[in-house]
Structure 1
Amino acid sequence: MRFYNSVGPNPRVVTMFMAEKGIEIPEVMIDLRGGENRRAPYNVDVNPAGQTPALELDDGSVLTEITAICEYLDERFPAPALIGTTPEERARTRMWTRRIDIKICEPLTNGFRFSEGLPLFEPRMRCLPEAAAGLKAVAQDGVRWLDPLIASREFVTGDALTLADILLFAFLDFGVSVGQPLDPENANITRWYDRMKTRPSANPN
């Protein structure tokens, strides 16, 4: 296998996921800022959507989309399970991963792309600068919605770390670095975030 990595929260989700599972896969760093992901050979031979990350499998086929990559790795390397060991656990992880993606990650990322990230992304995709502030507010609404729901939990889905935690952390930590800080009034999320930051997978260097 070969992992196509780059900067940004999406590849970080997969690198954290692999670190938590103890998986090491040879990687190729793609220059996202320089637009390597948007031109050949990457957007021809690896991912026609021009996005990172991507995982080339042993048979030469390529997986993209972070949840698909992580689910494949969880099945290929079952222990420790980061999606679940039963149908109920896996469904619960997928439910929370989807909720977090829609309510927090997507608006947070587009809020950045359409404002601070506009010089980088405007030549590459349709950007809506007038929507940036609203999208950032939507992401904060999502965090406020989630905060009381994890008050009695160590992790998003309960007592065990899952993909939902890794996804949420990678994007919230990215938000902190691009002008979308955590509101300290969200005490449960802040507590969870501070604990996640101490994990070796969050600090690989």
Structure 2
Amino acid sequence: MQSRGKRAGKGARKTKTSVLLLVEGDETEKGYFELLKLVKGWHTPGIGVPGIALSIKSSKQNAIIAMVREAKKAVIQDSRNVVFIVLDEDENLPSQFQEACSDILKWNDSKKEGSGRVYFALTSPQFEAWLIAHHRQIPESCDKHWVVKEEERLGILEATQRKHPSRRKRVPSSFPVANYPQAAENIEQIDLNEYGASNATAIPALIQAIDKIAGN
């Protein structure tokens, strides 16, 4: 007969890592990552099965410094192990991003090993450029106006019932999110906490980081 201690240890639930994606958009970014979460199989661990406790939250903050405060709060008060802030270059000046990034790097360095960490995942000029990359190559130099026109031409997003201008479109359930490996080839890549060129994104680095946490 097995001892109680052995029975408790056999098939024990593996320790999970709590991850938060803090995104700017109520619809576009949140909808994309909800679809990606399903495709990638980022799930809560079961008995003997590795996994990840991943949640996606739309930030109510507009300023990057306020998002940093929100991310730190998630680590300190909500016991999040890792928080990724997903944001656009067009909403933040380079100087603001560099200031916030420097603050986060210092904050991460001050934490004990195993404590929560915060990272930025930037897309330039805006997140929709990453969505377009699922369909075609992104030109070497592009701006927000090109992204808006190309998104409309390709019909990537669908209309919502919300009246506020910033909430009129969302990622449809039919979006080819599984094409993310090809999307990574179609746009310049930068690392987490990095500010890049006018058509660069850290989303592939973010996906790789979450895969590593999830044990994929």
Q: Which structure has greater helix proportion?
A: 1
Q: Which structure has greater strand proportion?
A: 2
Question: Which TM-score band (shorter chain)?
Answer: under 0.3
Normalising by structure 2, we get a TM-score of 0.27
Normalising by structure 1, we get a TM-score of 0.28
